[in-house]
Chain A
Amino acid sequence: MLQTNLTHLLSAKDLEETVKNNENVMVCCGRMGPMCIPVYGVMDELQGEYSHVAFRDMEFDTPDAAVIRNLPECRNFRGLPFTVYYKNGKVVKATSSIQNKDQVTSILSSEFSAKVPVK
């Protein structure tokens, strides 16, 4: 299991229910590796600020993570982590490899809400 402060998705069903029950979802699918840990850290920092977004992680090597690995949006990805943003049940953005806080907040603001993050 990933050693993060985020809520973990343990199965494809977990992901399905999370996406069904939340308008805005950000999922980071990775390992406890050098490129993934900074993204989990950024998400952990942001989950207090973006209360309208569900922040989740998922272990890349679990068989159920195929639902992320095999997404068409991740077809050309060859760098961990795979980070996927869902809005109203649909993938609206996906990124490969390490992302910093500015890159993540830019996507959150453009894809999920024009409003200022909740303080």
Chain B
Amino acid sequence: MSSTPFDAIVIGAGPAGLTAGIYLARAKMRTLILNEGTAGGQLVLTHEVANYPGVESTSGYQLATTMKNQAQKFGCAIRSNVSVTRLDLHGETKIVEVNGRETFTAPVVILATGGRSRTLGVAGEADLRGKGISYCATCDGDFFQDKNIIVVGGGNSALEEAVSLTKYAASVTIVHQFDHFQASAHAVEEAKHNPKISFIMESTIAAFLGHDSLEGVKIKHIPTGEVTEAAIDGVFIFIGYVPNTETLRGLVDLNEAGEINVSPLLETNIPGVFAAGDSITKRYRQITTAVADGTVAALSAIDYLRTVGERRLVEEVANI
């Protein structure tokens, strides 16, 4: 199997990975960005972006496309919809195998693998996705005109989307596992004042019912363990994100939540391996923080490459 050498390989093409690519390519580093899905990561899943400084309002897709075009214009090679099938990060030369048949090498790897929507993982969820179960209110809300629906979650996304879904639905019931919400006071107040919204607290969805489409749910009251069934037309799930780091377990240091542990310069525990974006240990996950991470990781990587280059030069001179 032949291998293609680069100065840096970035795994992930969300805002963090694309930003890292832009900085690396502008520093004249031969840079490859590999992405398991569509370039843009979770950014393309955002309907409207209104808080990215310098851009009054745009779609996530448009912003991601601009970032991708910038990275390519500066010389980054981008490969989307590939599977990383092997990672060897421990030597001075890192090896990344793609689709089981192509190998790329570089002295530096930046892990920007991002995250994905958390699923409930209960019976019926996978089979009924798109047939009553949804993770996107702006995409699928209008299928539930005058229907009765449930929103699962207690954060800002859940409460804000519940309010937006009242434009379509006859009723929206918010099911949340705790006795209080994690959402901002403003979002909670807005939901509580909406006459179409009701609440079932300290409860979880135990199962989804239905064959060709969603017909109902089993709801478990956590303190008592009591399970009740309810007929329902739709369920929207907004219960946060999980980092895409399963394949990194055992390769780099992760915390208990599966997030990559990093230094302030976004170094991992392995020399030459950096990390950025939603997959690292941090509190706030925004497009702006991902972009900042991508910048720091790229600049740290460039500094590392210079140091390694200088060290090799000293060693070569010493050996003459």
Cβ-closest 5 pairs across A and B: A97-B130, A96-B130, A79-B130, A41-B38, A34-B45
Identify B129's interface contact among A36, A42, A97, CB under 8 A: A97
| A95 interfacial by beta-carbon distance below 8 Å | yes
Within 8 A of A (CB), among B67-124: 80-81
Q: A80–B131 contact, CB under 8 A?
A: no
Distance A96 CA – B130 CA, assembled complex (angstroms): 5
Q: B81–A77 contact, CB under 8 A?
A: no
Residues of chain B within 8 A (CB-CB) of A100 are 37
Residues of B within 8 A of A (CB): 37-40, 44-47, 59-61, 80-81, 129-136, 138-140, 143-144, 212-214, 234
Distance A20 CA – B44 CA, assembled complex (angstroms): 34
Q: A38–B37 contact, CB under 8 A?
A: yes
Identify B46's interface contact among A3, A34, A36, A75, CB under 8 A: A34
Given contacts A45-B80, A76-B213, contact A37 B38 (CB under 8 A): yes
Q: B131–A77 contact, CB under 8 A?
A: yes
Given contacts A41-B81, A76-B213, A100-B37, contact A33 B130 (CB under 8 A): no
Identify B138's interface contact among A33, A42, A76, A77, CB under 8 A: A33
Q: B47–A79 contact, CB under 8 A?
A: no
Identify A77's interface contact among B59, B130, B136, CB under 8 A: B130
Residues of chain B within 8 A (CB-CB) of A3 are 61
Interface of B is mostly: loop
19 pairs across A/B with beta carbons < 8 Å?
A3-B61, A32-B59, A32-B61, A34-B138, A41-B80, A75-B212, A77-B130, A77-B131, A78-B144, A78-B213, A78-B234, A79-B129, A79-B133, A79-B140, A80-B139, A80-B140, A97-B130, A101-B37, A101-B81
Since A41-B81, A95-B130 are in contact, a sample of 6 more A-B pairs with Cβ atoms closer than 8 Å, ordered by chain A residue number, is: A34-B47, A35-B140, A45-B80, A78-B144, A96-B131, A101-B37
Residues of chain B within 8 A (CB-CB) of A34 are 44-47, 60, 136, 138-139
| A93 interfacial by beta-carbon distance below 8 Å | no
Distance A98 CA – B212 CA, assembled complex (angstroms): 17
- Nearest chain B CB to A67 CB, angstrom units: 18
Residues of chain A within 8 A (CB-CB) of B140 are 35, 78-80, 97
CB-nearest residue of chain A to B61 = A37
Distance A62 CA – B234 CA, assembled complex (angstroms): 25
CB-nearest residue of chain B to A39 = B38
- Nearest chain A CB to B163 CB, angstrom units: 18
Residues of chain A within 8 A (CB-CB) of B136 are 33-35, 79
Most buried by B among A31, A37, A95: A37
Q: A41–B130 contact, CB under 8 A?
A: no
- Nearest chain A CB to B124 CB, angstrom units: 14
Contact with B along A29-56 (1 / 0, CB 8 A): 0011111111001100100000000000
Residues of chain B within 8 A (CB-CB) of A96 are 129-131
Identify B44's interface contact among A38, A45, A80, CB under 8 A: A38
